[in-house]
Amino acid sequence: MSKQVKLAVQQRTETGRNAVKKIKEAGFVPAVVYSHQEETLNLKVNEREISNLLGHAAGENILVDLAIEGQGTSRLALIKEVQHHPVSQRILHVDFHGISANETIEASVPVEPVGEAVGVKTYGGLLEQLVRTITVRTLPKDLPEIIQVDVTDLNVGQPLHIKDIKLPEGVTPAGDGDITVFLIAEPKVSLDAQAQQSKK
């Protein structure tokens, strides 16, 4: 499941280019938390802390408990978007999506294959991953960081669709279940041989 991390933030009232420049010079990153249920807040977060958090994340979905300094309150949120400098890759801005612990959310979760497919091991096929993430519906507490899919039974020419994936308890697919995630393609040697044969 997605690990919930406590993150200290400060509310900011300064806006504009000069204010943002001062925030960054002080070692902070400007941020915003949006929510359907609560007011939008302008925040700033320590650059080192947010960089460390993102650097150790297994996937894109990071559930954070935003502890707002001086208010004695916190807000549950998902990191929605992170803007990086195109050259230095330093974090420029972070968007948080405020959520409720009892609210069903939709999120894209990375997918990775586990095991060696029989079509690869025995017949020399190639494992192709056509989809890198799938969108799921779940409560925040059940949100997985990553979805691992056992591909050992896949044979040459056999696809594995979203609907075939066994998801963790409390997690359901939000998109088209017929989308192919993995496919064992025919061996390249076999395809080349067929091409040569067709020329004769």
Q: What is the pLDDT of residues 56-109, one digit of tens each?
A: 876 667 889 999 988 877 899 999 899 999 999 999 999 999 999 899 999 889
Model confidence at 178: pLDDT above 50: yes
User: With bands split at pLDDT 50, 70 and 90, how would you rate the model's confidence at 4?
Assistant: confident
Q: How far apart (Å, rounded) are the C-alpha atoms in residues 156 and 139?
A: 37
Pair (109, 93) in one structural domain: no
Do strands 4-11 and 41-46 pair parallel, antiparallel, or not at all (unpaired)?
Answer: antiparallel
* Of the residues 98, 121, 136, the one at which a domain ends: 98
Least confident of 15-19, 25-29, 79-83, 182-186: 15-19
Give residue 191's pLDDT.
47
Pair (69, 135) in one structural domain: no
User: With bands split at pLDDT 50, 70 and 90, how would you rate the model's confidence at 129?
Assistant: very high
Pair (9, 60) in one structural domain: yes
- Residue of 181, 184, 101 whose CA lies nearest to 135: 181
Range of the domain at 113: 105-195
Task: Assess if residue 74 is contained within a domain.
Answer: yes
- Token code pair at residue 66: 């935003």
Give residue 71's pLDDT.
80
The answer to whether 45 and 31 are in contact (CB under 8 A) is yes
* Of the residues 98, 132, 162, the one at which a domain ends: 98
Pair (112, 92) in one structural domain: no
Residues 6+ apart with CB under 8 A from 42: 11, 12, 13, 15, 30, 31, 32
Question: At CA 90, angle to CA 84 and CA 15, rounded to 5?
Answer: 75
Pair (148, 165) in one structural domain: yes
